[in-house]
Structure 1
Amino acid sequence: MQRSRLCVTLALIATLPLGTPAGAQTAPAPLTVPGDLRPDAPELAARGQYAVGVRTLNLVNKGQLDLVHAGKEGTVPTYDRPLTVEVWYPAPGVSGGGSTTYTDVLGSGPGDAKRPNTPFQIPGRATRDASAVQGGPFPLVIVSHGYPGSRYLLSYLAENLASKGYVVASIDHTDSTHGDKAAFASTLLNRALDDTFVLNEMARLGAAGSGSFLSNVVNANQTGIVGYSMGGYGALNAAGAGYGPQMAPLVPGGAFAQRQVGRYTADPRIKAVVAFAPWGGDAAVKAIGVNFGGKYGFWEDAGLQALKVPTMFVVGDRDDVAFYEGGVKPLFENAVNAERYMVVYENASHNSAPNPAPAASYGSFDDYMHYAEPAWDSGRLNNLNQHFVTAFLNLKLKGEQAAAAYLNVPVTHSNDIKFSRNADGTPKADDTSWKGFKDRTARGIELYHLLPK
């Protein structure tokens, strides 16, 4: 027995890198590039047929309310609101053959001594300033990050969708990024407004004769919005889910009234929404000390009923920011006029959407936990998101009816799947596996589907 223990101990020591003391902690090795496939990735996580190009646009939305500088008496000046947008698009070349880096910063706004704005880089498989494929036009996907976040927070998904024939425009929401986080009222009002403005700008740039590299490349009439956390909150509103009037005091000068149910019309070009852990439900609002929210936080029944475009909710059932029970689940259940799906990651918290934590964050618990999931590998979640979002957008933006088979699953809990195959690999009559998943790879996931009433 003693000799056996000694052999095991020596074997473990032999696996340590040279110069690493026994018992020392080493950082986990990240994936080479966010979005690369693990061996257990589901079918639709794979990159598509196109190489990917990427460019940065600097847009200006003139005459917007400057809530950061609102006066104490409720007066709100106006300014020309700058928005930096990263655009990924199909490009000539070999799928996955590009190489680039995206520069972001850690932290939670300027001047935070505990979480300073430390620069870091994210590797990508796109080619900077490549020409665009002219085989489109391609559906548009607008990506809206969390609070705080950046246009690169979901770069793994943006690149993946561009390789499959989408133009992806990811917004740096001014006053809401890691580097410039400011008045929360600006985020509350501007998320949906930014989404709509970027949709208009992408349509303008995609028009024939625009002179842009996007001319004849973008089909803005088939637009989806992918939003994470505060991005999900804004995406739901942009697509029609008007806020309740009781939330008006959160934004100065009565400016929030324009986003109330019945006060605006959703852009008809928005055909689909993917809401990752959308913030703003009842439990989320109460968690920040607001006790005058509506039945569903920012929403009442009428507001949720005004959402009529197909919507996919993605959430962890242990979400402690947007929350599941009392948060996202009631939004899914009560948006009764929309076809909707809900993907639930069991034991996941709030970070089911972003890139894996960068190595630069390993020295800060708060920065690391801005990305990481304690019970899930982030690379695994990225692959799952690529799979489910691809199926949903292919179905709703491209009209590919075959994609429905990846979403309309025979059992809602993946742990209840029976993988039953004949010798030639074809399913037996009692097979209840989820399309696109290999045996033993669909675990800890729930997938629900509700039709409009």
Structure 2
Amino acid sequence: MKFPIGWLLCLLLASPSASLAQEALSDAPALAAPGAYPVGVLTQTLIQKDQPDLVASDLAAGKLARGDRSLPLTFWHPAVKPAADAPRARYTMPDKPAAGKPPAEVPYKTGGAYPDAKPVRGQAFPLVVISHGYRNWATSFSDLAENLASKGYVVAAIDHHDLEPVTLAAPQLSFATTVITRVADQRFVIDALTRKGGQGPLRDVYDAENVALIGYSMGGFGALATMGAGLDPNGPLSKSAPAGLLRPFTTDNPTFAAGAPQNVKAMVAFAPWGGAPPLRAWTAESLAKITVPSLLIVGDQDDVSGYGDGVAWVYGAMTGADRNLLVYENARHNIARDGTPPSLVGDFQSVVRFEEPVWRRDRILAINRHFITAFLDARLKGDQAHGAYLAVPTVKAVDGVWRPGSDAGSAGAYASPSDTASAGYWPGFQNRWALGLQLRHDTAAAPAAPR
């Protein structure tokens, strides 16, 4: 394992008054606010040996190249309170790609975390691994990562180094490489962090047997497979993979499903790709192999992963898992990341890549923090009081009822099941403000009786 300074962070001085941005949002749901811990941030790089390299291969001649794969990780963790003038992290992102040029890094945003702050030890915090979408980057999830770390989690975001199509002589190798590496990357990182929990700068800070996996889009595709849903060997995706490189992850590989990491106790999948035709990656029987408690989050107008025949179909097929489905009505695919980098707000194509046409970005991020906190606290910390925020009285938020005439309902109070006036409303939301959302819950089906 290597411990470089890290190309994902630009450790420059930021204003000492900078703080977690979500502190100022007064209409955020109850569990969206930061926790009590200051947050530290650091980077490490893992080296995955002997991996397929499609760009260096001559597939027409049947020659598959292999090489070491570098996987930078950004960690956020609960930290000892730093000095008042301690610098804050300034995150960077890949620059706009140019033909024939390697990607450079440019400033992205100032965060609320402290570079290289001393971690809080002796608490055995749960570990959360985040896997980004196609051509995203690790610190584009800094809002969620910093928030979770402030609540007593260690968060490790993988940077998968997706190849930019414009930089390749054969642009199709960009997505092909992403498809064949996501599952391997995730399983490798989870295994490495499990083995290395007692080493390095985060030695004995996190509990390597109490892990959650969060994936967005292609990261969600990887998460479903990582947790045991073998790919359909007869499906169009497996058949289209070059050199048969998806065969290690298919259902006819007897060791694949058995290799799902047992220390992962919860999975969150934002808009997971791979469920919709024409490249449906799984059978319903394969998805039923997932048994880890799961939270899926999606927009009902998702035109990348698909909704009805995509993510909703995946959710319906996951009959082996206790699961929740959070739906943003009138949202498309951009329901996970921090939002448009400040330097790109005037570029429409960039806005299309990061934003939603209907939903406020700060509102989406706050709702995600609220529900993911409730879900992870219940599953990894046994906090059933927070888990109760998932027990909404109506599937559609708009159908919730707050009894008219309640003073608290007009004063910004949060709905609570213990309050007779608001017991029919979504808990943790303010009156009139739970709107445009749906939340389903389904328990794992009992296994069929043996014949």
List per-residue Cα deviations over 1:153-205 (Å, max 9, x = no partner).
Answer: 11100101111111111011023579988532221111111111111222233
Give the match's secondary structure for 2:325: strand
Shift of 1:357: 1.1
Matched, 1:259 2:253: no
Contact 1:52 1:90 in 2 (8 A): yes
Shift of 1:33: 5.8
1:427 alignment counterpart = 419
List per-residue Cα deviations over 1:388-440 (Å, max 9, x = no partner).
Answer: 11111111111212222100111011111111286678622773111111112
Equivalences, count: 406
Give the match's secondary structure for 2:244: helix
Q: TM-score, normalised by structure 2?
A: 0.84
Contact 1:422 1:428 in 2 (8 A): no
Shift of 1:135: 3.3
List per-residue Cα deviations over 1:256-302 (Å, max 9, x = no partner).
Answer: 1111125212111111111001111124xx3xxxxxx4xxx101022
- Write the mapping of 1:116-131 to structure 2, written as runs, cut at 5 A: 119-131=106-118
Structure-2 separation of matches of 1:408 and 1:37: 27
Structure-2 separation of matches of 1:137 and 1:409: 31
Matched, 1:203 2:194: yes
Contact 1:202 1:218 in 2 (8 A): no
Amino acid in the other structure paired with 1:256: L
RMSD: 2.5
Amino acid in the other structure paired with 2:94: V
Contact 1:70 1:252 in 2 (8 A): no
Structure-1 separation of matches of 2:394 and 2:83: 34
1:150 pairs, out of 137, 142, 148, with: 137
Structure-1 separation of matches of 2:179 and 2:274: 10
Structure-2 separation of matches of 1:351 and 1:301: 26
1:58 alignment counterpart = 45
1:362 alignment counterpart = 345
Amino acid in the other structure paired with 1:261: T
Shift of 1:70: 2.7
Q: Label 1:158 to 1:422 Cα distance change in 2 as closer, same or farther (>3 A).
A: same
Structure-1 separation of matches of 2:423 and 2:82: 37
Q: Gapped runs of 5+ residues in structure 1? A: 1-30, 287-292
Contact 1:117 1:178 in 2 (8 A): no
Q: Label 1:388 to 1:67 Cα distance change in 2 as closer, same or farther (>3 A).
A: same
List per-residue Cα deviations over 1:101-141 (Å, max 9, x = no partner).
Answer: 1011353x44299xx96823211100001111013211111
- Write the mapping of 1:49-448 to structure 2, written as runs, cut at 5 A: 49-71=36-58, 72-93=60-81, 99-107=88-96, 109-111=97-99, 119-176=106-163, 183-207=174-198, 210=199, 212-246=200-234, 247-261=237-251, 263=253, 264=256, 265-283=259-277, 286=278, 293=279, 297-420=280-403, 427-428=419-420, 431-448=423-440
Q: Label 1:98 to 1:91 Cα distance change in 2 as closer, same or farther (>3 A).
A: farther
Give the match's secondary structure for 2:282: coil
Q: Label 1:35 to 1:70 Cα distance change in 2 as closer, same or farther (>3 A).
A: farther
Q: Label 1:176 to 1:397 Cα distance change in 2 as closer, same or farther (>3 A).
A: farther
Greater mean alpha carbon deviation, residues 376-385 or residues 354-363: 354-363
Q: Label 1:303 to 1:98 Cα distance change in 2 as closer, same or farther (>3 A).
A: farther
2:13 alignment counterpart = none
Give the match's secondary structure for 1:327: helix
Q: Label 1:135 to 1:439 Cα distance change in 2 as closer, same or farther (>3 A).
A: farther
Structure-1 separation of matches of 2:294 and 2:252: 20
Amino acid in the other structure paired with 1:206: G
Shift of 1:313: 0.6
Q: TM-score, normalised by structure 1?
A: 0.84
Give the match's secondary structure for 1:387: helix
Greater mean alpha carbon deviation, residues 185-194 or residues 254-263: 254-263
Shift of 1:363: 3.0
Structure-1 separation of matches of 2:178 and 2:393: 40
Structure index of larger Rg: 1
Structure-2 separation of matches of 1:231 and 1:123: 24
Shift of 1:69: 2.3
List per-residue Cα deviations over 1:362-401 (Å, max 9, x = no partner).
Answer: 2321112111111011011000000011111111111212
Contact 2:304 2:333 in 1 (8 A): yes
Amino acid in the other structure paired with 1:393: L
Amino acid in the other structure paired with 1:184: F
Amino acid in the other structure paired with 2:133: G
Give the match's secondary structure for 1:65: strand
Give the match's secondary structure for 2:245: helix
1:4 alignment counterpart = none
Greater mean alpha carbon deviation, residues 347-356 or residues 198-207: 198-207
Shift of 1:322: 0.8
Structure-2 separation of matches of 1:95 and 1:412: 46
Percent identity reads 38
Q: Label 1:106 to 1:433 Cα distance change in 2 as closer, same or farther (>3 A).
A: farther
1:14 alignment counterpart = none
Structure-1 separation of matches of 2:165 and 2:87: 27
Contact 1:105 1:117 in 2 (8 A): yes
Shift of 1:249: 2.7
Shift of 1:68: 2.5
Give the match's secondary structure for 1:206: coil
Shift of 1:303: 1.3
Contact 2:238 2:281 in 1 (8 A): no
Structure-2 separation of matches of 1:112 and 1:386: 39
Give the match's secondary structure for 1:442: coil
Give the match's secondary structure for 2:147: helix
